[in-house]
Amino acid sequence: MELPVLNDKPAAESGCSAGSCGSTDDQLDHLSDEIREKVQNHPCYSEDAHHYFARMHVAVAPACNIQCHYCNRKYDCANESRPGVVSELLTPQQAVKKTMAVAANIPQMTVLGIAGPGDPLANPERTFETFRMLSEDAPDIKLCVSTNGLALPDAVEELSKHNIDHVTITINTVDPEIGAQIYPWIFWNNKRIKGKKGAKILIQQQQKGLEMLVAKGILVKVNSVMIPGVNDKHLAEVSRIVKEKGAFLHNVMPLIAEAEHGTFYGVMGQRGPTAEELQELQDACSGDMNMMRHCRQCRADAVGMLGEDRGDEFTLDKIEEMDIDYQAAMEKRKVIHQAIEAEMNEKRAHKAANPHELPKLTTRPVLMAVATSGQGVINMHFGHAKEFLIYEASPEGARFISHRKTELYCSGDDSCGEAETALEKNIRTLEGCEVVLCSKIGYEPWEQLEQAGIQPNGEHAMEDIEAAVMAVYVEMAEAGKLNESLAQKRATA
* First-residue to last-residue Cα distance in the chain: 58
Stretch that binds another protein, among 72-80, 98-106, 367-375, 429-437 (CB under 8 A): 72-80
Residue 259 binds another protein, judged by CB under 8 A? yes
Strands (E), 258-406: 291-292, 303-304, 366-370, 387-394, 397-405
Give residue 325's identity as a one-letter amino acid code: D
Which residue lies nearer to another protein by CB, 52 or 185?
185
CB of 255 to another protein, least distance (A): 16
Which residue lies nearer to another protein by CB, 53 or 131?
131
CB of 62 to another protein, least distance (A): 4
CB of 123 to another protein, least distance (A): 7
Which residue lies nearer to another protein by CB, 241 or 410?
410
CB of 366 to another protein, least distance (A): 39
Integer CA distances (angstroms), 2 to 45, 205, 213, 246, 427, in order: 24, 20, 15, 9, 49
Residue 327 binds another protein, judged by CB under 8 A? no
Stretch that binds another protein, among 131-139, 185-193, 294-302, 485-493 (CB under 8 A): 185-193
CA distance 173 to 204: 11
Stretch that binds another protein, among 32-40, 57-65, 235-243, 456-464 (CB under 8 A): 57-65
Which residue lies nearer to another protein by CB, 76 or 325?
76
Q: Contact, 225 vs 218, CB < 8 A?
A: no
Residue 123 binds another protein, judged by CB under 8 A? yes
DSSP code, position 87: S
Stretch that binds another protein, among 102-110, 137-145, 189-197, 477-485 (CB under 8 A): 189-197
Residue 122 binds another protein, judged by CB under 8 A? yes
CA distance 67 to 484: 50
Which residue lies nearer to another protein by CB, 65 or 290?
65
Sheet with 191-194, edge to edge strand ranges: 66-67, 185-188, 191-194
Residue 65 binds another protein, judged by CB under 8 A? yes
For residues 74-93, which are near another protein according to CB under 8 A?
74, 89
Give residue 71's identity as a one-letter amino acid code: C
Residue 262 binds another protein, judged by CB under 8 A? yes
Q: Among 191, 350, 440, 490, which residue interacts with another protein (rule: CB under 8 A)?
A: 191
Residue 63 binds another protein, judged by CB under 8 A? yes
Peptide bond into 117 cis (omega under 30): yes
Which residue lies nearer to another protein by CB, 184 or 432?
184
Which residue lies nearer to another protein by CB, 62 or 383?
62
Burial of residue 4 (CB within 10 Å: 0-12, 13-18, 19+) is: exposed
Integer CA distances (angstroms), 168 to 149, 150, 206, 343, in order: 9, 13, 11, 28
Residue 190 binds another protein, judged by CB under 8 A? yes
Residue 118 binds another protein, judged by CB under 8 A? yes
Q: Among 128, 185, 382, 391, which residue interacts with another protein (rule: CB under 8 A)?
A: 185
CA distance 479 to 483: 9
Binding string to another protein for residues 398 to 437, with x set by CB under 8 A, is what?
--------------xx------------------------
Stretch that binds another protein, among 27-35, 62-70, 240-248, 354-362 (CB under 8 A): 62-70
CA distance 230 to 371: 34
Which residue lies nearer to another protein by CB, 27 or 270?
270
Name which of 149, 151, 182 is nearest 168 in CA terms.
Answer: 149
Stretch that binds another protein, among 23-31, 64-72, 94-102, 389-397 (CB under 8 A): 64-72
CB of 168 to another protein, least distance (A): 21
Which residue lies nearer to another protein by CB, 123 or 239?
123
Stretch that binds another protein, among 117-125, 332-340, 425-433, 446-454 (CB under 8 A): 117-125
Helix (H) or strand (E) holding 317: helix 316-320
Q: Contact, 376 vs 459, CB < 8 A?
A: no
Q: Contact, 144 vs 111, CB < 8 A?
A: yes
Q: At CB < 8 A and 24+ separation, what contacts does 408-411 make?
A: 409/80, 409/81, 409/82, 409/256, 409/258, 410/77, 410/79, 410/80, 410/258, 410/260, 411/79
Residue 268 binds another protein, judged by CB under 8 A? yes
C-alpha neighbours within 13 Å on the C-beta side of residue 277: 16
- List residues binding another protein (CB under 8 A): 62-65, 67, 69, 72-74, 89, 118, 122-123, 125-126, 184-185, 187, 190-192, 259-260, 262-264, 266-268, 412-413
